[in-house]
């Protein structure tokens, strides 16, 4: 892989001269971004803030449907162009806290959105796809698993892989770290398609498998809030 990052952007993870980090290389570095912020219980009375979810812009792999978990790919030029419209979408919101995945496709999307992270959080990294890293769903199904999706589980590969329950546990920790901020205003989370879909399901107090029925386009914004004390989807897949 020889794709390049944009001028003026420095990825949080340390790559190599030969190109972006592979999944195993990223896994070795994620520990640098383990967050020790307190993980709090969901408050009984929701605060005024809304949860703003932004999926990173397009990469070469996301464009063709290859599972991109921990491989640290940069954005494509199209991905950068679309992310450049995010400031307009975010402008109406009273953002009091910003949290981002340390993978460069998320970090650069945040930069193009005109925001700085309060923290990079390893628990916002994408699903570890194990042996399915870099493969399309069609390729996985051709290996004797008709109808397969990642929600059915992934075998270990260069990295161990994760179950949906493991991803949901990470998403729950992220939410536990931002409840107090939502008591003051809106919180922006910038991350990845599968992980943020699972996080949305957890926020909504639903099974994490609900995420399999949610679509989240690259470079788009989703807004979660409350109706009285019931968590709700207020906007989904807003694009510049």
Active-site residue numbers? 56, 126
Residues 6+ apart with CB under 8 A from 87: 113, 114
Is 69 within any annotated ligand binding site?
yes
Is 105 within any annotated ligand binding site?
yes
Residue 212, helix vs strand vs coil:
helix
Is 68 within any annotated ligand binding site?
yes
Distance from the Cα of residue 127 to its chain's centroid? 9
Token pair listed for 184: 């003051």
Cα–Cα distance measured from residue 240 to residue 238, given in angstroms and rounded to the nearest whole number: 7
CB neighbour burial string for 194-207, b if at least 16 within 10 angstroms, e if fewer:
bbbbbbbbbbeeee
**Residue list, annotated binding site for substrate:** 68-69, 105
């Amino acid at each position: 892989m020889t794709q390049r990052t944009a001028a003026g952007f420095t990825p949080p993870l340390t790559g190599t001269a030969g190109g972006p980090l592979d999944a195993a290389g990223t896994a070795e570095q994620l520990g640098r971004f383990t967050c020790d912020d307190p993980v709090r219980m969901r408050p009984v009375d929701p605060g005024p803030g809304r949860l703003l979810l932004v999926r990173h812009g397009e990469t070469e792999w996301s464009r063709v449907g290859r599972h991109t978990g921990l491989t640290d790919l940069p954005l494509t030029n199209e991905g950068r162009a679309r992310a450049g419209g995010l400031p307009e979408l975010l402008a109406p919101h009273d953002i009091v806290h910003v949290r981002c995945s340390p993978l460069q496709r998320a970090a650069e999307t945040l930069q193009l959105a005109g925001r700085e992270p309060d923290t990079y959080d390893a628990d916002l990294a994408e699903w570890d796809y194990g042996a399915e890293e870099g493969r399309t769903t069609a390729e996985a199904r051709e290996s004797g698993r008709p109808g397969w999706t990642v929600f059915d589980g992934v075998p270990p590969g260069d990295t161990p892989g994760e179950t949906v329950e493991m991803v949901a546990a990470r998403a729950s920790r992220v939410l536990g770290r931002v409840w107090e901020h939502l008591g003051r205003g809106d919180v922006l989370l910038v991350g990845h398609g599968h992980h943020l879909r699972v996080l949305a399901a957890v926020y909504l107090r639903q099974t994490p498998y609900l995420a399999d029925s949610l679509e989240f386009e690259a470079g788009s914004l989703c807004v979660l809030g409350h109706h009285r004390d019931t968590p709700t989807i207020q906007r989904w897949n807003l694009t510049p």
